[in-house]
Amino acid sequence: MCRSASTRRLCLISNKVNHITFGVQRKTETEGTISSREGLERGTETEGVGLEKKEEKSKSSYTGVVPAVDQASRILICLARNPSFKMNLTDICRSVAIHKSKGYSILKTLQRYGFVHKDALGKTYSLGFGLISLSRKVLERLDYESIAGPHLKKLADQTHSTALLGIIDDMNVFVVAKQEADQAIGVTTRIGHRFSISHGAHGKAIVSFLPKHDQERILQQGRLFFHGTAEKLDRKRLKDEIRQCSQKGYAVDIGELNPGINVIASPLFDSQGSLFGSLFIMGTFSESRIPEYSSIVVNVAKQFSATLGADISQTYGAKNSGFKDRGSKC
């Protein structure tokens, strides 16, 4: 406590100075805190920009392709496209451009799941039966029935035969939809069944409308089964049948693949005018029914192709109610 007047004045001055100084210090501390917070926020913002740029750079270089899966896929495609369907390790790795040790590991893994089969004696690899179950699942999920259903039913009802839709897959035709006739006894085949393009009426109907170089490549093969067995093949007759099919729009198999079972087939085209399959009937109908039934098959094939967007005036010719001759004479 200040006892004299002068002392009291000094105390008052001292208290004011302390109060002012304290206030300045508090204000400075507050300002300092704000400044530090701004600095942290700015620093965070700067760091964030850096992270964003880093992420953008990372995203731009990311392709999403897993190398091992890509290589395994290319190996399967390579085996599928090989004419002999069998290849040794060296040829596979050379075709796919991978190291032999890597190729061996991938093939070993594919063998484990049945996607590749290894011939122990020949030391060659081929596609495995494990792929069949997968392909059947794909065919089962495709909604061919709703698209082809009305056309197949019409065909089955009018010919009293089993009507089938086959889709081309490389050198084969897979049955993806069918309609059986309402008869006590009939002829049928299962969904997913595979026919070779070098077999029967469906094969002749397709080969007749292939580009000339593809047609010649097939016809030059050593063993063809258009007439049942390779030994029964008559190449001169086959050329005549292909020429007639390209003009009339249908091919026939009169008990050649299976005695007592006759087949009539007509090709199908998509919106691009590309050949993609065939529509065919099979049954025990007599040979005398072929002119009548072939006309029905061709007309339904036209309607089906038109449903898929094919230009009938370009793909199918008006002459003889058949198809446009594409110069596929052999």
Structural domains of the chain, count: 2
CATH code, domain with 99: 1.10.10.10
Quick one: which of 277, 263, 261, 265 has its CA closest to 310? 277
178 and 313 belong to one structural domain = yes
In a domain, 168, yes or no: yes
Residue at 102: amino acid letter: K
Residue at 264: amino acid letter: I
- pLDDT at res. 182: 79
Quick one: which of 280, 237, 235 has its CA closest to 261? 280
99 and 194 belong to one structural domain = no
164 and 310 belong to one structural domain = yes
In a domain, 192, yes or no: yes
Residues 6 or more apart whose CB falls under 8 angstroms from that of 187 comprise 161, 162, 261, 282, 283, 284
Q: Which of 128, 152, 178 is the last residue of a domain?
A: 128
152 and 102 belong to one structural domain = no
261 and 315 belong to one structural domain = yes
Beta strands in the chain (DSSP E): 87-88, 116-119, 124-127, 162-169, 172-179, 194-196, 251-254, 262-269, 275-283
In a domain, 208, yes or no: yes
117 and 183 belong to one structural domain = no
Kindly give the interhelix angle for 235-248 and 212-219, rounded to the nearest 10 degrees.
150
154 and 231 belong to one structural domain = yes
- pLDDT at res. 105: 96
Residue at 38: amino acid letter: E
In a domain, 24, yes or no: no
In a domain, 38, yes or no: no
Distance CA 299, CA 296 (A): 5
Distance CA 226, CA 211 (A): 19
pLDDT tens, residue by residue, 126-139: 998 888 778 767 65
What does the chain come to in residues?
330
In a domain, 176, yes or no: yes
- pLDDT at res. 14: 44
pLDDT tens, residue by residue, 107-129: 999 999 999 999 878 789 999 88
Distance CA 317, CA 327 (A): 13
238 and 175 belong to one structural domain = yes
220 and 106 belong to one structural domain = no
CATH code, domain with 277: 3.30.450.40
In a domain, 251, yes or no: yes
Cα dihedral 204, 208, 211, 217 in deg (nearest 10): 40
Residue 10 in tokens = 């000094």
Residue at 314: amino acid letter: Q
89 and 159 belong to one structural domain = no
For residue 208, give its domain range: 143-321
Distance of CA 148 to the CA centre of its chain: 19
In a domain, 48, yes or no: no
124 and 148 belong to one structural domain = no
- 3 state DSSP class of 156: helix
220 and 124 belong to one structural domain = no
Which segments of the chain have a pLDDT < 70?
1-62, 136, 138-144, 184-185, 314-330
Residue 36 in tokens = 């530090």
Cα dihedral 191, 197, 202, 204 in deg (nearest 10): 180
Mark residue 103 as left, alpha or beta (left: phi above 0; alpha: psi -120 to 50; beta: remaining): alpha
- pLDDT at res. 228: 75
What is the residue whose two structure tokens read 């005398």?
A: 288
